[in-house]
Amino acid sequence: MSSRSGADLALLLLGSYRNLVDEVVRELAKRGYPDARPSHEHAIRAVRAGAVSASELARRLAVSKQAAAKTIAALVERGYVTTEVDPADVRRKIIRITDRGNGLLAEGAAIFDEVRARWERRLGAAELAQLEEQLAQLVGDSPIDLDAPGWVAGQDQA
């Protein structure tokens, strides 16, 4: 095998992530979620983790409040979340995950496991376990937390 650059490694890691996610999105479409996008899953997980308003969702996703509002509108339109007026502050809307939204998360998790099993058959159980162990060593004690504020934008977290 020829030697590769650091940029080549980054592209391989990004490409493998992209292939995995694209496969999950295609399968979600076949299972009744044709409008699901990876960003929807991240947003729904953030809501489940406590981001129940547009401001809180914006912080968790490291986007503007306007971008969070657009995401919420898309999730409402697709039936993944609902919004209701906060009884404590009528200017604020509370975001709630619907059964369809919870179904999307559950189905997505199951499909990720299925894709992992296919990768295991393709690479071999020992090889995939070794790859996962090596990647875990590179990530260290702080694996990516998709719900952590600012991780995408590279903002320092206190």
Read off the CATH number of the domain in which 66 is found.
1.10.10.10
Q: Is residue 110 in a domain?
A: yes
Burial bucket for residue 138 (CB in 10 Å: 0-12, 13-18, 19+): exposed
pLDDT score at 154: 47
Euclidean distance between CA atoms 106 and 140, whole angstroms: 27
- Which residues in 30-77 belong to E strands, given as ranges? none
Averaged pLDDT, 9-25: 93
pLDDT score at 102: 97
Q: Is residue 70 in a domain?
A: yes
pLDDT score at 7: 92
Q: Is residue 66 in a domain?
A: yes
Averaged pLDDT, 36-65: 93
Amino acid letter, 67: A
Domain total in the chain:
1
Averaged pLDDT, 22-40: 94
pLDDT score at 106: 97
pLDDT score at 29: 97
The answer to whether 56 and 50 are in contact (CB under 8 A) is yes
Averaged pLDDT, 73-99: 95
Computed over every residue of the chain, the mean pLDDT equals 88
Q: Is residue 2 in a domain?
A: no
pLDDT score at 15: 93
Give the structural domain span for 83.
21-139
pLDDT score at 140: 80
pLDDT in tens, 120-157: 999 999 999 999 999 989 888 766 655 554 444 444 44
Q: Is residue 147 in a domain?
A: no
In the DSSP assignment, the letter for residue 149 is: T
Q: Is residue 154 in a domain?
A: no
pTM of the model: 0.81
pLDDT score at 155: 45
What residues contact residue 23 under an 8 Å CB cut-off, 6+ apart?
A: 111, 115
The answer to whether 72 and 81 are in contact (CB under 8 A) is yes
pLDDT score at 148: 52
pLDDT score at 4: 85
